[in-house]
Amino acid sequence: MTGEKHDPNRPKFYGRRKGRALNRSMVAVVEDDLPRYAVDPAALPAEPTDMFDRPVRDLWLEIGFGSGEHLLGQAKANPDIGMIGCEPFINGVAKLVRDVTASGTDTIRILPDDARLLLDALPDACIGRAFVLFPDPWPKKRHNFRRFIGPENLPRLARVLRPGGTLRCATDHPDYLAWMLFYIRANPAFRWLAKGPSDWAVPPADHVRTRYETKALAGVPHYLDFLRV
């Protein structure tokens, strides 16, 4: 846990919210620029695409965006898509806000908090694609229940994804890979799209690689695409 006082009305959160102290410029980014992009799960518009300043044709969601490289890359490659990113680690949030502001991208909104708060607030079938890329593997067996992909959160993802939408997961941890495949394939709301090992042992054509993938991977990455049936 983070050591902060727990609100009984919120789900228990495991993981880091803060790292090294932000420097002065990044503090200013969080204080001055983040409110422009921030999402309030308690005050969502009835139609979530209305949170953007111009019309978008679909809504995509990334859970645990790290420093935001994939999220920003997808937004640049798909300028007609509204993107929402969830990340409780404020250092990563600050980096994304800085980079989004510098790029002038206007189709990104950010929840600097636990993604479950947003998943529980979104209306049914409003998301076209969801990404959960390289989440914390919580490798110790006694901590496996903390993994984001699992029996607690898959119903949440199934509810907000529209039929025909896709869930993309990625991990470089072999035990988490087996865990993901077991739980997602056991859920009747999802169908695995892989036709063979080559479909999940290499990044999909539209994937945006990040510095983590090129420098910090602990093992062989696998990319899993599932159809919301």
Taken in order of first residue, the domains within the chain and their CATH numbers are 24-228 (3.40.50.150)
Cα dihedral 14, 170, 213, 108, rounded to 10, equals -70
19 confidence band (pLDDT: 50, 70, 90) = low
Residue 216 pLDDT greater than 90, yes or no? no
**In terms of pLDDT, which residue wins out, 198 or 93?**
93
pLDDT at 215: 78
Q: Which amino acids are annotated as binding site for S-adenosyl-L-methionine, given as ranges?
A: 62, 87, 114, 136
Nearest alpha-carbon partner for 118 in 79, 81, 157, 172? 157
pLDDT at 1: 36
pLDDT at 198: 77
**What would the two tokens of residue 151 be?**
């029996």
pLDDT at 218: 81
Among the ranges 3-7, 16-20, 22-26, which has the highest mean pLDDT value? 22-26
Q: Which amino acids are annotated as binding site for substrate, given as ranges?
A: 140, 172, 210-213
DSSP H helices, 44-167, are 69-77, 90-103, 115-119, 154-160
Vertex 59: Cα angle to 149 and 98 (nearest 5): 85
pLDDT digits (tens, 9 = 90+) for 150-197: 999 999 999 999 999 999 999 999 999 999 999 999 999 999 999 887
Residue 6 pLDDT greater than 60, yes or no? no
Residue 30 pLDDT greater than 70, yes or no? yes
> What percent of the chain shows pLDDT beyond 90?
79
pLDDT at 211: 85
Residue 26 pLDDT greater than 50, yes or no? yes
- Dihedral sign, Cα of residue 198, residue 199, residue 201, residue 203: positive
pLDDT digits (tens, 9 = 90+) for 50-86: 999 999 999 999 999 999 999 999 999 999 999 999 9
pTM for this predicted structure: 0.91
Q: Which residues make beta-bridge pairs with 192?
A: 226
Q: Which amino acids are annotated as binding site, given as ranges?
A: 62, 87, 114, 136, 140, 172, 210-213
Instruction: Point out the residues that are catalytic.
Output: 136
What mean pLDDT value characterizes the chain?
92
